[in-house]
Amino acid sequence: MVKEVISYLSLFSGIGAFEKALKRLEIPYELIGYSEIDKYASKAYSLIHNVPETMNYGDITKINEKELPEGIDLITYGFPCQDISIAGSQKGLLNDDGTKTRSGLFFDALRIIEHTQPKVAIAENVKNLASKKFSKQFSIVLDSLEEAGYNNYWKILNAKDYEIPQNRERIIIVSIRKDLDSNAFTFPEPVELQSILLDVLEDEVDEKYYVDPSKVKALIPQLEKKEISNTIRASGGGVPTDTSGI
């Protein structure tokens, strides 16, 4: 049986984890393009997935959704988590002045989804998005997608429950266009983990991956200086408490 080739747009692509999943599931797809602002991640994406970097739309805020092709089947978007994560600034989707935070780039993904109307859109983010602290922001995300014409299914999944030896929890939001949704979607059931981290780590690592000891020695004072500076700013210390750079 020949599987249908789906048309696919990748946003906040990184090195293409969603794409790797599609390949492992043997789901054939035609890449419309990907959006990644980091030049190193873009280079890695291009090499890993054997596509030219000219397919990179770059900065998502500069993508003209009206120039994107029609009939997109799937859009994936792991929008930035820095302003939602426990380890981040926790500003949410918007700054105090109403401008978008880095996590607020969700609205750019939404803008593209609203216009292109893909059959399915899948988002990934840290589980803290579904916490009590961010209940208002999470409601904005779900309500915005519903208003765009989608039924939404979400769940916090852990990588260790799906054959990956890593305790890594992430929220997944699957949005299915209402005119296509049969209300039959369910998340996959957990499977028993058969491996441990030692099973996937290499016994020997090539020396080219080691950092030069002299560079480490030079870097330590810089890190110590930055840590002291960040501690002073976080505690007040008579100086501005802007911790946006931490």
Annotation marks residue 95 as catalytic: no
Contact 43, 53 (CB under 8 A): yes
Distance CA 10, CA 126 (A): 19
Give the single-character DSSP code of 179: T
**Phi, psi values for residue 126, rounded to 5°:** -70, 150
Residue type (1 letter), 142: L
Contact 63, 35 (CB under 8 A): yes
- From the candidates 32, 81, 84, 173, which is the catalytic residue? 81
Give the pair of three-digit tokens for residue 31. 């890449």
Question: Can you state the angle between helices 106-116 and 135-147, rounded to 10 degrees?
Answer: 20
CA angle 142, 101, 121 (to 5 degrees): 35
- Extract the runs of DSSP E, i.e. beta strands, from the chain: 6-11, 29-35, 74-77, 120-126, 150-158, 169-177
In the sheet that holds 120-126, the strands lie side by side as 29-35, 6-11, 74-77, 120-126, 169-177, 150-158
Q: Which helix (H) or strand (E) holds 142?
A: helix 135-147
Contact 107, 93 (CB under 8 A): yes
Catalytic residue numbers? 81
